Amino acid sequence: MNTPNRWFRLLHCMSAVVSVFLAGCIDSTPESDAEAEGDDADALQTRYVELGDFVTSDADIERWREIRQKLDAGFDDVCGDTFCEGDYTNLQSLGFTCSVSSKQGRIRECVWTFAASNEAIDAGTGAIAADIPFFECRFRPTGKVSGLLQSFGDDPLRSTLPGADTSIYDALGDCFNHPIDATALPAPVEGPYVGATDLLEGESIDAWYAMTHALAAEFDSICGDSFCEGDYTNLEALRFSCSTNTETQKLGTCAWTFAGSANVLRHNGFVRVEGQPFTCSFTVDATPAELASALAPSSEGSVLYRALPGATTSINDALIDCL
């Protein structure tokens, strides 16, 4: 007679035990989520800065400046016989930077940005179109700032960064196979215009290249106090080119290509590169030889500020409107 009551009491107890167990599981779930959210919050609280803003001692500041300078110089030394023999012959460094955690100086990422250009002349009109791609060569070294600065050694370009399998030099080859924002140039058309250098030879072509080299060198020397004070502090001159009418021997259009970039640190420490291309075009009423003579570096005065043949304006005036 008492058996049903005993089973009822047993089932009641078991139900209570199961209820307590389930209640415990339900209570533990929000607690685990809260812990996970706390871990994410800690990660998001890490602030990242550029390595140049992290170093404070004179020795580290000078070492970082030296590394970046040697990287650029090393690249310039080898590019003509290596990387610049590919699709783009005028690769220019826009700077090497690294992001680090603001408190411990742990390296998050390093990026070396480059730009280059190819130009195409419209044979029918003499207009010049430009393809100006960027290259973001990214590295993920391990460790902290002190170890990274030491790892570069005397030849930063050939150095292997902490945690990497290959040197910076070896990694660049693959990077240059992946241009960013490359633009297809127009298909060739029939017409009287060709590149200015196609009609020059001997002393005339030497004078042309002396002029273009002088223009680039002078731009580099003044940029820091002029054009490089804007949104892009690392503007680099890429190529100065002109079209020439084969029937009149006069120049058609001249175009000077430039590139600049700005680095933006994301909240997670990775670097977003904002590249900006420029094609500065203007006309010149002269033959190629006359332009080279008017802007010869051996003449007195600045080649950038010197008046163009048949005009009162200079190339610097054209750059102000463009850059």
What are the DSSP calls for 66-114, one per residue?
Answer: HHHHHHHHHHHHHHTTTGGGSS-S--EEEEEEEEEETTT-BEEEEEEEE
Among the listed residues 314, 244, 229, the one whose alpha carbon sits nearest the alpha carbon of residue 280: 314
* Average pLDDT for 91-110: 98
Q: Is residue 3 part of a domain?
A: no
User: What SS3 state is found at 186?
Assistant: coil
Q: How far apart are CA 142 and CA 145, in angstroms?
A: 9
Is residue 21 in a domain?
no
> How sure is the predictor about 300, in pLDDT bands with cuts at 50, 70 and 90?
confident
Cα end-to-end span (Å), the chain: 101
Predicted pLDDT at 188: 96
Q: Is the pLDDT of residue 18 over 80?
A: no
What does the pLDDT read at residue 299?
Answer: 72
- Domain membership of residue 28 (yes or no) is no
Other C-beta atoms within 10 Å of 113: how many?
A: 26
Q: Cβ contacts of residue 250 below 8 Å, gap of 6+?
A: 244, 285, 286, 287
Instruction: Indicate whether 116 belongs to any domain.
Output: yes
Contact 255, 281 (CB under 8 A): yes
> For position 308, what pLDDT does the model report?
97
Report yes or no on 122 lying in a domain. yes
Domain of 247?
A: 48-322
CB atoms under 10 Å from CB of 316, counted, come to: 17
Contacts made by residues 150-156, CB under 8 angstroms, sequence distance 24+: 152/67, 152/70, 155/70, 155/74, 156/67, 156/70, 156/71, 156/74
Measure the CA dihedral 77/80/81/86, to 10°.
140
User: Stretch 138-159: mean pLDDT, rounded?
Assistant: 98
Structure tokens at 86: 């590919």
In the predicted structure, residue 228 carries a pLDDT above the cut 90: yes
Q: Quick one: which of 241, 256, 213 has its CA closest to 126?
A: 241
Number of domains in the chain: 1
Please check whether residue 258 lies inside any domain of the structure. yes
Residue 278: band (very low, low, confident or very high) from pLDDT cuts 50, 70, 90: very high
| Mean pLDDT within 17-34 | 32
- pLDDT at position 44 is 62
83, 87, 90, 96 alpha-carbon torsion, rounded to 10°: -50
At residue 37, does pLDDT exceed 90? no
The mean pLDDT value for 19-41 works out to: 33
Q: Give the closest residue to 274 by CA, choosing from 136, 116, 122.
A: 136
pLDDT(117) > 80: yes
Q: Is the pLDDT of residue 22 over 90?
A: no
Residue 6 in any domain: the answer is no
Rounded to an integer, the average pLDDT of 53-66 is 98
Domain assignment of residue 178, yes or no: yes
What does the alpha-carbon distance between residue 281 and residue 130 come to, in Å, rounded to a whole number? 11
The confidence score (pLDDT) of residue 38 equals 34
Whole-prediction pTM: 0.86
Q: Say how far apart CA 137 and CA 169 lie, in whole Å.
A: 11
